[in-house]
Amino acid sequence: MNNLNPAISAKIKNAKILLIGGSAGGFAIIYDLLLRLPQSFPLPVLVVIHRSKKYKSVIEEQLDIKGKLRVKMAEDKERIQKGTVYFAPPDYHLLVEQDGSLSLDNSEPVHYSRPAIDATFQAAADVYKKNVIAVLLSGANEDGAEGIAYVSELNGLTIVQDPQVAEVKVMPQAAINKANVDLILNNEQIAGIMNTINKINTTIL
């Protein structure tokens, strides 16, 4: 993605983790984005999708086979490693600990959701501060808006899918209403920013 202002380019260069959240209407774009990530992608990725434990999901297995990065369901006490995509398990909030490990939490749902995007975004921002890139996509409730606002307050990079192209616009619109979002992008532009992250981020975890 070309013509980024220097402040956004600096945020990308200094980033240490990528967060992606979505719900209704977000599965397809998340799948496509992760499938496109190259083997050289420099950041670990945490993904939170609203899904029920009642229904078996094979998105991790499919992406692990078809994509270039390792993709798995997050495990409690697991150390975060670059080159790996971690999905929040159904019915657990996915949190980040100060020692760089993941933890699974079964406390109350947030916005009727567990896993909650807010919980992961806020926990990761507490650890990584300004070195976070957070992406919020299509969804039918306001989960993620407070998390995006928190990342923004700590000067991380915030990216929201343009509500006009989102399959369900409630979630991205709530984030735009609540936070000072850095970038509001369509699907191809979001894919472009992933390429930019790969090109200019030189973080070594």
**How many distinct helices (H) and strands (E) make up the chain?**
7, 9
Count CA atoms closer than 13 A to 182's CA, side-chain side: 27
Burial readout 131-143 (b: 16 or more C-beta within 10 A, e: otherwise): bbbbbbbbbebbb
pLDDT band for 51, please (50, 70, 90 cuts): confident
Is there a catalytic annotation at residue 126?
A: no
Residue 203, pLDDT above cutoff 60: no
Give the residue numbers spanning the domain of 156.
6-200
Is there a catalytic annotation at residue 143?
A: yes
* pLDDT (average), residues 28-44: 96
Whole-prediction pTM:
0.95
pLDDT digits (tens, 9 = 90+) for 3-25: 789 999 999 999 999 999 999 89
pLDDT for 200 equals: 87
3-state SS, residue 137: coil
* pLDDT (average), residues 51-57: 75
pLDDT for 4 equals: 87
pLDDT digits (tens, 9 = 90+) for 130-180: 999 999 999 999 999 999 999 999 999 999 999 999 999 999 999 999 999
On whether residue 1 sits in a domain, the answer given is no
On whether residue 46 sits in a domain, the answer given is yes
CATH code of the domain in which 111 resides = 3.40.50.180
65 backbone dihedrals φ, ψ, rounded to 5° = -80, -45
pLDDT digits (tens, 9 = 90+) for 83-118: 999 999 999 999 999 999 999 999 999 988 999 999
CA distances for 80 relative to 99, 112, 124, angstroms: 9, 27, 11
On whether residue 173 sits in a domain, the answer given is yes
On whether residue 52 sits in a domain, the answer given is yes
Q: State the total domains in the chain.
A: 1
On whether residue 205 sits in a domain, the answer given is no
pLDDT for 2 equals: 60
Is there a catalytic annotation at residue 103?
A: no
On whether residue 18 sits in a domain, the answer given is yes
pLDDT for 205 equals: 45
Q: Considering 93, 143, 152, 182, which one is annotated as catalytic?
A: 143
Which of these ranges, 74-78, 160-164, 182-186, 199-203, has the smallest mean pLDDT? 199-203
Q: Considering 50, 118, 138, 182, which one is annotated as catalytic?
A: 50
* pLDDT (average), residues 183-193: 97
On whether residue 143 sits in a domain, the answer given is yes
Q: Considering 23, 113, 138, 152, which one is annotated as catalytic?
A: 23
| Rounded Cα–Cα distance for residues 40 and 191 (Å) | 15
pLDDT for 182 equals: 98
